[in-house]
Amino acid sequence: MNSPLMSGNSAIKQRGPSSEGGNCSTQTVLVVDDSPTVIALVDETLRAAYHVQVATSGPQALALLARAPAVDLILLDVMMPEMDGFEVCRRIKTNPANPAWRDIPIIFLTALSEYGDEARGLGLGAVDYIAKPVVPVTLRARVDTHAELCRVRRELQEKNDLLSAEREIIEGMILRMRADPAFNDRHLRWLMRPVERTSGDICLAAFCPDGRQMVLVGDFAGHGLTAAIAGPWVSQAFYALCAKGDAGATLTEFLTTLNALLRAQLLAGQFMAAHLVEVDPARRRLRLWGGGMPEPLHVGLDGMVRRIALASFPLGLLPEPDLSADVRTLDVREGERLLLYTDGIVEASNAAGALYEIERLEASYATLLSDGGPLAELVAAVDAFVAGRAQADDMLLLELNL
C-alpha cells in the first residue's frame, strides 16, 4: 500500500472518492498526522466515500484551512511535533478571523495511553476520540456518524437562514402595513418596546369627522410575528370606522365590528385584549371600554393617580357579546391625563419572581411623570426593578392628554 506522502515533496495531499464506493459523498475529511502509516490507513479506509485531504503537522493543517476552508470533518493526531493536537484544536475552535471553523467536527486520534486526555480534548470542542492503532471499521463508522451529523446541522442552518430571511421580509411588510398614515398622535404620546422586531401590541388613534378622538391600545395573545400578523387587519378596520359617514362610527360599532373581524380571522384560542377610548369633541367626557387589559390610570388636576375599573372579555373570543354594556363614562377637565398600557409592564418580573404590578406603576407614574417627564422613565423604572432579566412580553405605554 503506497503512502500519500511518497508522491512528490508536498506534505499536503488530496484524495477524492473513487468509483468503488457506490454512494459517494462530496464531504471532505482532513487528516492531520505525522505518521505515514496512519495517513495511508485513513486514506485507504475513507477515499471511497470522502474527499481526503492530508496535513502532516498542525501549522500545515491551519494553512490548508485558511486556503481551502471547505472541510467537513478533521481527524487530528494528539501527539505531533511542533504543535500538538490540543493546540491545533484550540486554534481552530477560537480563530476570530474564521468563525466558521468552530463548527467543523474534530475527532482526535490517540494512543491508548493517552485516554486520560479525553476530557481535555472534549473540553476544547472535539466531538470524539478514536484509539490507535486505528481499526478501519471503527474509523469508517465514527466518521460516517459525525459526517452525517455535520451534514444535517448544515442543512438545518441553511433552512434556518432561509426562514430568518423570509421572516425579516414578512416583518418588514407587517411594519409597513401597520404604519398607517391615518394615525394621528394629537393630544397623546406613546412608547412601544417589543420583545422582537414586530410586536403583538398595537396603538391606533384618529379623529372622526364629528371631532371625536378614538384611541385603541391592543395586545394580541403572545408576541412576535404570530401576534403581530393580525395587527394590519385591526388597523385597517379601525381607521375605516373612524372615517365612516359624516360622523364616524359609534363606539359600539367599533367594538362589534372589531370583535366580528377577529372572530373571523384569528385561530381558535387567539384574541386581542384592548382598551378603546372615545373623547368627545369638547374633550370633557370620555367613554372607555376595556377587555382583558390592566386598569387604566387617570391623573386628576390634584395630581392623584386613580385606577379605572374596566372588566369585559377580550375581542375575538365570543361570537356576539354585548360589549356596550361594559362601557364606562367619565367626566374630565383640561389638563387631566389617562395612561393606557399593556400587561408587559405590570407583569415584568425580577429574578425572585416578583411582578412589577400596578402599585409600582402608580407610584412611578405619580413621581416620575408628575411634571410631564418622558414615558421612557417609566420603562427605566421597570428595567431597574427586573435588574437585567430579559424582557418576556411586549410593552406599550400611551398617555392621553385632555
Q: In the structure grid, which three cell numbers stand for residue 136, read together?
A: 478501519
Spatial distance between the Cα atoms of 283 and 318, rounded to a whole number of angstroms: 32
Q: Which fold has domain 4-158?
A: Rossmann fold (3.40.50)
Residue type, 18: S
What is the rounded CA–CA span in Å between residue 319 and residue 321? 6
**Residue 179, pLDDT score:** 65
> Which pLDDT tens digit goes with each residue over 134-161?
999 999 999 999 999 988 888 888 888 7
Give the bridge partners for 285, in sequence order: 331
Q: Locate 135 and state its grid cell.
A: 481499526
**18-49 per-position pLDDT tens digit:** 434 434 457 899 999 999 999 999 999 999 99
Q: Name the β-bridge partners of 100.
A: none
Amino acid at 119: A
Please give the pLDDT value at position 14.
52
pTM of the model: 0.64
Q: Give CA separation, 150 vs 7, 99, 140, in Å.
A: 31, 16, 15
Decide yes or no: CATH 3.30.70.270 for domain 179-401. no
Report CA torsion sign: 144, 150, 156, 161: negative
Q: b vs e for 216-255, b when ≥16 Cβ sit within 10 Å of the residue's Cβ?
A: bbbbbbebbbebbbbbbbbbebbbebbebeeebbbbeebb
Mean pLDDT per 10-residue interval, the chain, length 402 residues: 36 47 66 94 93 94 86 92 91 90 91 66 87 91 92 86 68 59 90 78 93 94 67 88 92 93 83 94 95 93 89 86 85 94 94 94 86 87 92 90 92
Among the listed residues 254, 251, 253, the one whose alpha carbon sits nearest the alpha carbon of residue 235: 254
Task: Write out the three cell numbers for 365.
Answer: 407614574
Residues of the chain with CATH 3.60.40.10: 179-401
The CATH 3.40.50.2300 portion of the chain extends over 4-158
